[in-house]
Amino acid sequence: MRRSPRSNGRKRRRRARSSRLRLPPPSAPRCSVDMMRCMTGFRNFHIEGELAGLALGPVLRLLLPGESWSKVHRLIENRHVEINGNLCVDRGRRLNEGDVVKLWAEPRNAPPREDQLRIRYLDRDVVIVEKPAGVTSTRHSEERDWSARRRQLQPTLDEMLARVVGRRLRATSAGKARGRRAPPLRVRAVHRLDRETSGLMIFALSAEAEHRLTAMFRAHRVERRYWAVVRGVIGPQTIESYLVRDRGDGRRGSTDDPSKGRKAVTHIAVREVLGDYTWIECRLETGRTHQIRIHLSEAGHPLCGEKVYYRPRFGAAPPDQSGAVRHALHAFRLALDHPITGERLEFEMPLPDDMRRLIDRLRAAAR
C-alpha cells in the first residue's frame, strides 16, 4: 500500500527530531538485552537532559542503539520495562527528568485481571478485597488525566474494584433499582499497600464510611498484621522511630529529632528462622508510609527482594541471595469494627504462591 505524502512527512519529521538529539554521554548505562542476560538481569537508565519529555519508545531506541524499533516495542509490550518501579507497557508514556527506567532481561508478571480479584466482604458502605502483588492501590496524581486506553494498559486496584463491585451491586435488587444510568460507583481509598505488597485492603463505598474509616485508621483502631521474609536472623522486638520524607539521602527514613518526624511503631515476632533469613510477623501500631520496610532496613534486616530500602542507617545489610521476585511483604490480617453497623470484621489471607515458594526454598536450603 502506498503511503500518503502527509504520513511520509510525519515520519521524516520524527527521524529528523531523533537525529538532532544527542545520545547520552558515554558514562550513561547502555546495553543490549542479550548482554543483560549475562549480568544482573536488569539495567537502570536515569532520565535527564534532552531525554526528559520524550516518549518511552524513542528513549529506549536511543539508549539501545543495537536494537530495532520493533524489538524495542516488543520489550515494552511484553512487560520488560518499569518506570520508577512500576510496570509500563505504554510506549507513548512521557518521561520526566529524574525518572528511572528499568529494563529487565526477563518479562515481569502480568498485571492482575478483574476476574482474578477476590472480594471477601461487600455491603453498600465498605468492601474488603485481597490485593494481589503487582498492582497499585490507587492511581498516582500525575496519571489521573490519562485516557481510558492508557488506564486499561495499567489498571489500578480501585478502578478495577469499582467495575467489579458495580456489576455485583447492579445484579442485586437494590442495584437494579438504581437504573442502568446510575453514576459510576466511587471506590474511596482509606489506606494503601505498595504495588509489590499483597494482602487485605478495605475501601469505603459511601462518604460516611470514608469519614469514619479515616478516623479509625488515624486513631489506630484497625488491626493490621503482616508476614515478611527478611535478610539475616532477627529477634522479636519493637521498633520505634520518627519518620521523615528525606533522611538525608533522598529516601524516607528515621530522624533523631522527634520534632521533625512522625512517630512510627512496629512490633516484630519471629515465626521461623530460615538459615540466613527470617520469616517474621509485623504488627503495626501506627501506619506511616513504607513504615515496615524502613524499620526493617534501618535495623539491618531489609526485606528479601527489597529494591529501595536495602541499606541500614549504619553499616552494610546482609546480601540478598534469596531470589525473591518482589519485596516479601504480605498483609495477612485485617480486623476492625464496621464503621457504620459496628459489626466485628476479622479476615485473614493465606500466603500468596510466590512467598510460599520463597519460604519453602529457603527452608529447604537451610537444612
Q: What's the CA gap between 137 and 53, in Å, rounded?
A: 26
Task: Give me the catalytic one of 194, 256, 353, 360.
Answer: 194
| Distance in angstroms (rounded) separating the CA atoms of residues 323 and 73 | 28
Give phi and psi for 119, each to the nearest 5. -90, 125
List Cβ<8 Å contacts ≥24 apart for 150-156.
150/90, 150/92, 150/93, 153/89, 153/90, 154/86, 154/87, 154/88, 154/89, 154/90, 154/111, 155/111, 155/114
User: What's domain 221-367's architecture?
Assistant: 2-Layer Sandwich (3.30)
Q: Cβ neighbours of residue 246 under 8 Å, at least 6 residues apart?
A: 252, 253
Cα angle 64, 323, 267 (rounded to 5 degrees) comes to 120
- Contact call for residues 92 and 55 (beta carbons, < 8 A): yes
Residues in the chain: 367
User: C-alpha cell of 104?
Assistant: 529487565
C-alpha 111/C-alpha 96 separation (Å) is 23
User: What's this model's pTM, rounded to 2 decimal places?
Assistant: 0.74
Q: What CATH superfamily classification does 13-104 receive?
A: RNA-binding S4 domain (3.10.290.10)
pLDDT at 29: 42
Distance CA 213, CA 259 (A): 27
The CATH number assigned to the domain with range 110-219 reads: 3.30.2350.10
What pLDDT, on a 0 to 100 scale, did the predictor assign at position 83? Answer: 85
Q: Are strands 262-274 and 118-122 parallel, antiparallel or unpaired?
A: unpaired
- Strands 262-274 and 100-104, sheet pairing: unpaired
Phi, psi of 88 (to 5 degrees): -135, 125
The residues of the chain that CATH labels 3.30.2350.10 are 110-219, 221-367
Q: Where do we find the cell 547520552?
A: 24
Instruction: Give the 3-state DSSP-derived string for 344-359, with helices as H, strands as E and coil as C.
Output: EEEEECCCCHHHHHHH
pLDDT the model gives residue 171:
77
Q: Is 194 marked active-site?
A: yes
- C-alpha 312, offset from chain centre: 22
Q: Which long-range contacts (CB under 8 A, 24 or more apart) does 305-309 make?
A: 305/196, 307/85, 308/85, 308/251, 309/251, 309/252, 309/253
- The C-alpha cell that represents 205 in the structure block: 463505598
CA–CA dist 133, 354 (Å, integer) = 10
Distances (CA, A) of 331 to 71, 82, 197, 240, 355: 38, 24, 7, 20, 12
Contacts of 315 (CB under 8 A, 6+ apart): 300
Q: Where in the chain is the domain with CATH 3.10.290.10?
A: 13-104
pLDDT by position in tens, the chain (length 367)? 555 555 555 544 444 344 344 444 434 444 444 444 434 467 889 898 889 999 999 999 999 988 899 999 999 988 899 887 778 888 888 998 888 898 988 787 777 778 889 999 999 999 999 999 988 898 876 666 666 666 666 788 998 999 899 888 877 755 455 545 556 788 999 999 998 999 999 999 999 999 999 999 999 999 999 999 999 999 999 999 999 988 877 788 898 888 899 999 999 999 999 999 999 999 999 989 999 999 999 999 999 999 888 877 667 777 889 989 889 999 999 999 999 999 999 999 999 999 999 999 999 999 8
Q: What pLDDT score was predicted for residue 175?
A: 46
* Alpha carbon separation from 327 to 5, 51, 355 (Å, rounded): 51, 30, 9
The dihedral formed by the CA atoms of 146, 149, 153 and 157, expressed in degrees to the nearest 10? 70
